[in-house]
Amino acid sequence: MTSAPHYSDLWQGIALAAPDRPAVISRDGTVTWSQLAAEAGALATHLVDRGLKVGDAAALLLYNRAEYLAFTWACLAVGVSPVAINYRYRAGEVRELVLDSEARSLLTTRSLGELAREAVTGLDVEIIEVDDGSPATPGALDYADVVATGGALPASAPRGAELRLYTGGTTGSPKAVVWDLDTLLVARRQSTWGLLGITPPEDLAEAVRIAVDPATPRIVTLPLTPLLHGTAQSTTMGTMALGGTVVLHAAARMDMEEAADLIAEYDVSRLIVAGDALALPLAETVERRGTGLPGVRWILSSGMRFSDDVKRRLHALGDLAIVDMLASSEGGPFAFGVTHGVDELPARLVLTPGAVLLDDDLAEIQADAGALGILAFRGILPKGYYRDPAKTAETFPTIRGNRYIMPGDWARARGDGSVELLGRLSAVVNTGGEKVFPAEVEEALLSHPTVDDAVVFGLPDRRFGEVVSAMVSPVPGREIDVEELRTYLDERLAGYKKPRHVFVRPSLERSMTGKVELARVKQDAERELAEAVR
């Protein structure tokens, strides 16, 4: 691109060129592009009147709603960073992110209003809440009243603004990755235009032309994950960059029966899932209904286990492509695993331009079949972590004059441009000097007919430093015989890779994006071991 378009400017161009095209559809109705632009303009004016300026932040604490996208657009239009906060957090956790991001405005719904009020009590943070049928929160501004005051979007968004994406890791406190909004859309050009076979535009005018061109595929996207999830946010923003339509379901968790209804009613062509955690219940629901997925053309997932078995079931439901992305909030994508049918399974994770595999000496080894190394990516990258120069230097090293992102993912080169992902370095279990990658052990556990879910981790051991341990949950209606499971693993794993401790739980209590909180799991396991020796 010769002149990188800004999200807000591109969306505004689309709203002017195709004002009556549907931008957002939900059970609350349809919001056209011109209506969404009008709401964003009023909200942007309010934020400026409130005193927010370029570099400030505003938080979002709500389910997937049209107001979420209008507020996000408003923030980007005036250089304010929208900060997504998990609505499952407790008040103390919400407060921590509000303080860390220095947000001065918070958008929520009445049903979450008390949580928001408790979180920001004593802080200079206004609450704007959407009427979703619950009682109003004392002191909060009504979203409809704010929008009714009117106001226009600026002719062009200010340059030099940032987008702070809080990572949703399984350990530690969330950290904000700071992206330069001037180049963010360029960084996402492959996932926005490239996946559709469209040559990325050179400038804003061409980007608008592509979006409103009748020849451009009309994308209708349904995120099954919350918009606070990085993949849902970036793919939704990408759908809007293509002049598409976003279908939203406002609920704490996606009801798969409702999802199937929305897919059929609104001709959804693109689904965003979080690996097996959402793809499996979707497949089961559609199989039970016998409707298939005839209109769906793409299913996208990133950062979560997405098994070939579930992909096989989805391919059987329609003529669709499954895009399994290896990316992170910090950058990438590192690789894509794209399949168009069952004959292309198992999927190959093909490295993207800019992605490399580095050995211990930081030499590139992606062309060497069987070589083991750390994935890295060079190209357009974030500035780093918000107010954390030490972590920034560690994760974004400069190697031979090039700046890289190295989040710590181990992979094995296949020698043909693809890799086998082994897992995050921080999750590797070092037992007696041997490295064990949890993903390999989890795959073996999940192949057992009674195991529905599994997570593998290390627990302290006086002799070996750490020992491999696992927490598993049973297939509904089945029981897990731990000793039989150990025997089953004898034929599939080397002795040092077999879990020394196996803990059975009814559920692993994954988050809405399919992640397991490892700190909680380890504490639970250590507590059970301590009780066993009393």
**Distance (Å, whole) CA 292 – CA 313:** 10
**Smallest Cα–Cα separation from 326: which of 318, 317, 335?**
335
Question: CA 160 → CA 179, 182, 202, 225, 392, distances in Å?
Answer: 10, 7, 20, 30, 19
Residue 241 lies inside a defined structural domain of this protein: no
pLDDT at 510: 85
- What domain count does the chain have? 3
Structure tokens at 321: 């492509």
Q: Is the per-residue pLDDT at 143 higher than 80? A: yes
Q: What angle do CA 305, 307, 312 make, to 5 degrees?
A: 150
64 within a domain of the structure (yes/no): yes
Q: What is the mean pLDDT of the chain?
A: 93
Residue 435 has pLDDT above 90, yes or no: no
Q: In this structure, are 436 and 415 located in the same domain?
A: no
Q: Which of 371, 403, 424 is the last residue of a domain?
A: 424
pLDDT > 70: percent of the chain: 98
Whether residue 171 is predicted with pLDDT greater than 50 in this model: the reply is: no
Is 310 among the domain residues?
A: no
Same domain, 416 and 439: no
Among 167-181, 480-494, 520-534, which is the least confidently predicted range? Answer: 167-181
Degrees, nearest 5: CA angle 353-359-363: 65
Q: What pLDDT sits at residue 512?
A: 67
User: CATH number of the domain that 382 lies in?
Assistant: 2.30.38.10
Between residues 504 and 172, the one the model is more confident about: 504
Same domain, 406 and 441: no
Q: Tokens representing 194?
A: 């490239």
436 and 490 housed in the same domain = yes
List, in sequence order, every residue forming a beta bridge with 336; answer none if it has no partner.
Answer: 325, 350
What's the whole-number mean pLDDT along residues 157-168? 90
10 Å Cβ neighbour count for 124?
8
pLDDT above 90: percentage of residues in the chain? 79
Residue 117 one-letter amino acid:
R
Q: Which long-range contacts (CB under 8 A, 24 or more apart) does 284-288 make?
A: 284/256, 285/256, 285/257, 285/259, 285/260, 286/260, 286/317, 287/313, 287/317
Mean pLDDT of 443-454: 94
Q: Give pLDDT, residue 12.
A: 98
Q: Tell me, what CATH number does 475's domain have?
A: 3.30.300.30
Range of the domain at 446: 428-532
- CATH number for the domain spanning 136: value is 3.40.50.980
User: What's the mean pLDDT in 188-197?
Assistant: 87
Inter-residue contact 76 to 7 (CB < 8 Å):
yes
The β-bridge partners of 429 are 436
pLDDT at 85: 95
Distance between CA atoms of 281 and 287, rounded to whole angstroms? 10
Mean pLDDT, to the nearest integer, of 124-144? 97
Q: Clarify whether residues 368 and 416 are in a common domain.
A: yes
406 and 454 together in one domain: no
In this structure, what are the phi and psi dihedrals at residue 326, rounded to the nearest 5 degrees?
Answer: -105, 100
330 is a domain residue: no
Cβ–Cβ under 8 Å, residues 321 and 297 = yes
Check whether residue 420 and residue 528 sit in a common domain: no
Identify the band that residue 172 occupies on the pLDDT scale cut at 50, 70 and 90. Answer: low
Helix (H) or strand (E) segment spanning residue 193 = none
Residue 219 has pLDDT above 80, yes or no: yes
**3-state SS class at 340:** coil
Q: What is the pLDDT of residues 487-512, one digit of tens each?
A: 999 989 989 999 999 999 999 988 76
Q: Note whether 380 and 485 are same-domain residues.
A: no
Task: State how far the Cα of 99 lies from the Cα of 453, in Å rounded to an integer.
Answer: 36
Q: Is residue 254 very low, low, confident or very high in pLDDT (cuts 50, 70, 90)? A: confident
Statement to judge: residues 396 and 477 lie in one domain: no
Region class of 452: left (phi > 0), else alpha (psi between -120 and 50), else beta? alpha
pLDDT band at residue 88, thresholds of 50, 70 and 90? confident
Q: What's the rounded mean pLDDT across residues 56-66?
A: 97
Segment 47-51 shows an average pLDDT of: 98
Collapsing DSSP states into helix, strand and coil, what is residue 161?
Answer: coil
Domain for residue 288, yes or no? no
How confident is residue 170, by pLDDT bands cut at 50, 70 and 90?
Answer: very low
The better pLDDT of the pair 534, 112 is held by 112
The pairing of strands 402-405 and 372-378 is antiparallel
Note whether 366 and 496 are same-domain residues.
no
Burial of 492 (C-beta count, 10 Å sphere; 0-12/13-18/19+): middle
Same domain for 517 and 401: no
Assess if residue 302 is contained within a domain.
Answer: no
Residues 6+ apart with CB under 8 A from 72: 60, 82, 237
Last-in-domain residue among 398, 424, 450? 424
Q: Could you tell me the CA-to-CA distances from 98 to 89, 122, 476 in Å, in that order?
A: 12, 12, 39
Task: Examine the pLDDT at 266 and tell me if it is beyond 80.
Answer: yes
With beta carbons less than 8 A apart as the criterion, state whether 528 and 503 touch. yes
Please indicate, yes or no, whether residues 137 and 182 belong to a single structural domain of this protein.
yes
What is the enclosing helix (H) or strand (E) of 88?
none
Q: How many CB atoms lie within 10 A of CB 334?
A: 25
pLDDT at 196: 86
Q: Is residue 111 part of a domain?
A: yes
189-193, 270-274, 367-371, 477-481 — which is least confidently predicted? 189-193
Amino acid at 346: P
Residue count of the chain: 534
Structure-token pair, residue 208: 């608008």
260 in a structural domain:
no
Let me know: does 114 contact 106? Beta carbons within 8 Å.
no
Residue 534: predicted pLDDT: 65
DSSP-derived 3-state class of residue 122? coil
Last residue within a domain, chosen from 392, 424, 456:
424
Q: Does residue 174 surpass a pLDDT of 80?
A: no
Residue 379 clears pLDDT 50, i.e. is over it: yes
| Contacting residues for 123 by C-beta, under 8 A, at least 6 apart | 95, 98, 99
